[in-house]
Structure 1
């Protein structure tokens, strides 16, 4: 697709470009959904591989149901195709642990339903004017649904990681890179910057509105924390020293006997991990993966540092000091390309730290987008002037201290659902997600 023209902080897409963008992102998402639900037999689709996750067949029909509700009913004003299933696929009506007991559509019927919805949606896409309502302005509803499907694709990939059994997915590894020997941290100057967005056409409600934020000078890790660095924390007794943990974190790891990242186990003197059905030696130069917020916070304390706040993370990722402006991505305003970041399930693992020099920020911070979601110190809260749209259940019901913010995306995130303003959130105990972190320190701290 054509890159958007940049006019100050505003993004301008013509109707043809928007329609092409919507078609491409919807098609890309559906191809990925098909891969994730066709690489295993039907019993694996209907099984619940973890009480934390839905059966894959639930995600498949839920994707179709959300697409029908928003694009066929809300945008096109059409009659409901399967109104009797709306409740089954309402994420707020049934907790994940209960979903296997529901009368879900069997795999074949779920596939046919999602395909029939998509066929009708493509007709609607060609006839919809991208103006007139907030849902149709700049094709927002189509972008929202593409992002929704990709978010569930990432959820399904997590389910594949939790699934027991032989390898079902394959992908090439990231290109090897020389061991990173650049500076370990970067100074981010203090002062105001513009956080969030009011102009990104498909930005979701919690990314809005753009507002000025003052940030004191700080240092941030040039790359995410590596497996080798995290192993040093383990070997130094990090999981056995209460002083590094918050009271809640210490209680959690004690209660659940946690001594290493999820999917790791020790074999003699080396650490192994299970990754999508394959057991392998933990690669020392990859970003650490599958750690919860409590583990990230404890490591940072052990290292004499801290987690960056959400505002600090975004300033490091978006601020261009030369132009005193906030960019869409660390590398600028152009859409992500393979040279910029590890996104879109192109690989099934993070790239070695120091990869993607073309994706670094003007200050020299690398891998802020892709590879691993990065825990921040911040609670998930609304921005000043926040307005829920198009429904409160996307963001508003989650605001509060129960959730911590993650930024940057992972190798499992598609570019349509990942940008410098994108906000993710989860409970601080979550480890099945593709989460890592980097650390920071205030300027002047030793």
Structure 2
């Protein structure tokens, strides 16, 4: 993609994020709607800071702007109070962000103003910035969905989704050596490198992610109430609270429906389930395995298995939900961490698990097979689902 097209994408991304901030009241911009999500204003501010870091500090060697606000976004102090308390009111924040964005677009449109080093070659800088915005844009959408979930609703389901028992609709991946990771993707994040050769045993992987209908079958089978399927720390409360995906609610007739950005909607049984945490995904896999037969041995996929299945063209039904993986989110062998926090993956703490793929709201800058991210195992607010693997036949 040429520079003009990428600059157009960046300008549209600026506008999209501003529109999200303006879609709610000034007070709501600074409200936390979920304990693991920052307020809406934070994500726009962070994106503006990171864009300026890449364009001016990295691209021009000028930290005049970023050094004044770095302590807000990447604090070195031990102050544990939320950093967003230091943000200005919405109008001032938007003026600050727009002034930075206009200056950054001017610099990006004139490559002669940027340093000539490996990270500035071609359109790499623009690709890096676009994906920083894409990540924060997705978080902003998560915040708005959580806001929707707090609104009361008298919605009635028109056509109730029906439970669908899991089936072993799988494709076989033979034992072998496979490539994973990024070798030459423009703008790839630090956690995608270096590219690896991995040896995998043979396995079967589900052709599709777990569906809404599959999840209804799990609920109706009492899956949330059976301790044998659950890790102790992830077991839902016995009073029934949270015994369903984060984005699901029941109408007065007991039918389940979903809540998204635009409000309530009827669930489609074949669509991927969204809004589950890793504990739920693992419990579901244990329930499926307990069905026996060709479902025995069902487990969550490892992220290597997902990437190999996609790279080899064995699965193509992905991209509507991020998919939980079995493994802890760790750096690849030979990983060299960047020296700056702005460029580093901060989730390599042993407490995050890998997520692969993309969701319905993921921007094009993040849609590549090597992209990986991490989430805490109890995180239900993510646009996340699951996919299972099975032993070979």
Q: Structure 1 residues 255 and 399 mapped into 2: Cα distance closer, same or farther (>3 Å)?
A: farther
Distance apart, 1:143 and its partner CA: 2.0
Q: After TM superposition, list the pairs within 5 Å mapping 1:24-39 onto structure 2.
A: 24-39=8-23
Distance apart, 1:166 and its partner CA: 6.9
The one of 204, 220, 231 equivalent to 2:205 is 220
Q: Where does residue 65 of structure 1 map in the other structure?
A: 49
Q: Where does residue 440 of structure 1 map in the other structure?
A: 389
Distance apart, 1:92 and its partner CA: 7.7
The one of 372, 375, 378 equivalent to 1:423 is 372
Name the CA distance, whole Å, in 2 between partners of 1:166 and 1:266. Answer: 14
Q: Structure 1 residues 312 and 82 mapped into 2: Cα distance closer, same or farther (>3 Å)?
A: closer
Q: Tell me, yes or no, if structure 1 residue 288 matches structure 2 residue 273.
A: yes
Segments of structure 1 that go 5 or more residues without pairing to the other structure are 2-16, 168-178, 320-360
Q: Where does residue 372 of structure 1 map in the other structure?
A: 321
Contact preservation (8 Å) 2:171, 2:207 = yes
Q: Where does residue 308 of structure 2 map in the other structure?
A: 315
Q: 1:304-346 deviations in whole A, cap 9, x for unaligned?
A: 1111111101000112xxxxxxxxxxxxxxxxxxxxxxxxxxx
Name the CA distance, whole Å, in 2 between partners of 1:186 and 1:95. Answer: 51
Name the CA distance, whole Å, in 2 between partners of 1:421 and 1:96. Answer: 34
Q: 1:348-401 deviations in whole A, cap 9, x for unaligned?
A: xxxxxxxxxxxxx3x2x2322x21000011111111111123635655543243
Q: Structure 1 residues 238 and 115 mapped into 2: Cα distance closer, same or farther (>3 Å)?
A: same
Q: TM-score, normalised by structure 2?
A: 0.85
Q: TM-score, normalised by structure 1?
A: 0.76
Q: Tell me, yes or no, if structure 1 residue 244 matches structure 2 residue 193.
A: no
More helix by share: 2
Distance apart, 1:255 and its partner CA: 9.4
Q: 1:215-269 deviations in whole A, cap 9, x for unaligned?
A: 111111111111111110111010111111123323x655994311113233334
Distance apart, 1:199 and its partner CA: 0.9
Q: After TM superposition, list the pairs within 5 Å mapping 1:199-214 onto structure 2.
A: 199-214=184-199
The one of 338, 341, 347 equivalent to 1:398 is 347
- The number of equivalent residue pairs is 369
Q: Structure 1 residues 135 and 298 mapped into 2: Cα distance closer, same or farther (>3 Å)?
A: same
Name the CA distance, whole Å, in 1 between partners of 2:345 and 2:133. Answer: 20
Name the CA distance, whole Å, in 2 between partners of 1:429 and 1:77. Answer: 40
Name the CA distance, whole Å, in 2 between partners of 1:109 and 1:78. Answer: 23
Name the CA distance, whole Å, in 1 between partners of 2:76 and 2:372. Answer: 20
RMSD: 2.8
Q: Where does residue 384 of structure 1 map in the other structure?
A: 333
Distance apart, 1:280 and its partner CA: 3.0
Instruction: Determine helix, strand or coil for the equivalent of 1:406.
Output: strand
Name the CA distance, whole Å, in 2 between partners of 1:145 and 1:94. Answer: 29
Contact preservation (8 Å) 1:72, 1:120 = no
Q: 1:274-301 deviations in whole A, cap 9, x for unaligned?
A: 2235223332221101000010111011
Q: Structure 1 residues 236 and 256 mapped into 2: Cα distance closer, same or farther (>3 Å)?
A: closer
Q: Where does residue 323 of structure 1 map in the other structure?
A: none
Instruction: Determine helix, strand or coil for the equivalent of 2:300.
Output: coil
Contact preservation (8 Å) 1:76, 1:124 = no
Q: Where does residue 81 of structure 1 map in the other structure?
A: 65
Q: After TM superposition, list the pairs within 5 Å mapping 1:108-187 onto structure 2.
A: 108-128=91-111, 132-164=116-148, 184-187=169-172
Contact preservation (8 Å) 1:306, 1:439 = yes
Contact preservation (8 Å) 2:52, 2:66 = no
Instruction: Determine helix, strand or coil for the equivalent of 1:163.
Output: helix
Q: 1:68-93 deviations in whole A, cap 9, x for unaligned?
A: 22211221133523744332233786
